[in-house]
Amino acid sequence: MSILVHELLSDNLTRTSGNTLLKERNMCITHSELENRSNQFSNYLFELGVNKGDRIALLMDASIDAVIAIVGIMKIGAIYVPINVSCSKEKIDYILNETESKIFIAESKYLNGLLANSSLNKIKTIIRGNEEKGFEFYRFSDYLTFSREQLKRNKIISKDIVNIIFTSGTTGTPKGVMVRHENITPFMNYVTKRFNHNELTRTLGKTPLSFDPFLTEIVPSFISGGFVYLYNNLISINHFLKVLHEEKITNFGCGPSLLLLLVENKELLRKYDLSNMQQIYFGYENCPLNTIRTLQTYLPQVTFINGYGTTETYASSTFHEINYPIPDDMESLPIGEPIEGTELLILNEEFSLTKPDEIGEMVIRGNSVMSGYWKNPKTTDEVLRVNPLFPESMEKVYFTGDLVKRNSNGDILFIGRKDTQIKIQGYRVELLEVQGFIESHPLVKECCVIVIEQKGTKKMVCYLVTKENVLTELDEIKSNLISNLEPYKFPHEWKLISHIPRNANSKVDRKILENMYRKEIHSEHNII
Q: Which of 5, 84, 71 is nearest to 40 (CA)?
A: 71
How far apart CA 120 and CA 96 sit, in angstroms, is 9
- Give the pLDDT of residue 287: 87
Residue 125 forms beta bridges with which residues? 104
Buried b (16+ CB within 10 A) or exposed e, 127-160: bbeeeebeeebbebeebeebeeebeeeeebebeb
> 348 or 286: which carries more pLDDT confidence?
348
How far is the CA of 392 from the CAs of 165, 276, 361, 377, in angstroms?
Answer: 31, 51, 21, 22
Those residues whose C-beta lies under 8 Å from the C-beta of residue 454, and which sit 6 or more positions away, are: none
- Categorize the per-residue pLDDT at 484 as very low, low, confident or very high, splitting at 50, 70 and 90: confident
How far apart CA 217 and CA 230 sit, in angstroms, is 9
How far is the CA of 319 from the CAs of 195, 333, 334, 343, in angstroms?
Answer: 11, 11, 9, 13
CB atoms within 10 A of CB 265: 15
Q: What burial class does residue 228 get, using C-beta atoms within 10 Å of its C-beta: 0-12 exposed, 13-18 middle, 19+ buried?
A: buried
How far apart CA 37 and CA 147 sit, in angstroms, is 9
How far apart CA 417 and CA 286 sit, in angstroms, is 11
- Give the pLDDT of residue 522: 63
Residue 202 forms beta bridges with which residues? 227
pTM of the model: 0.86
Mean pLDDT of all residues in 456-464:
87
| Phi and psi based region of residue 153 (left: phi greater than 0; alpha: psi -120 to 50; beta: remaining) | beta
How far apart CA 65 and CA 144 sit, in angstroms, is 11
Angle between helices 64-76 and 31-47 (to 10 degrees): 60
Residue 399 forms beta bridges with which residues? 363
Those residues whose C-beta lies under 8 Å from the C-beta of residue 492, and which sit 6 or more positions away, are: 459, 460, 461
- Give the pLDDT of residue 457: 75
Domains contained in the chain, CATH given: 7-181+212-218 (3.40.50.12780), 425-528 (3.30.300.30)
pLDDT at residue 527 tops 60: no
pLDDT in tens, 150-179: 877 789 999 999 999 998 654 457 899 999
- Give the pLDDT of residue 134: 63
pLDDT in tens, 277-313: 999 999 867 788 889 999 999 999 999 999 999 999 9
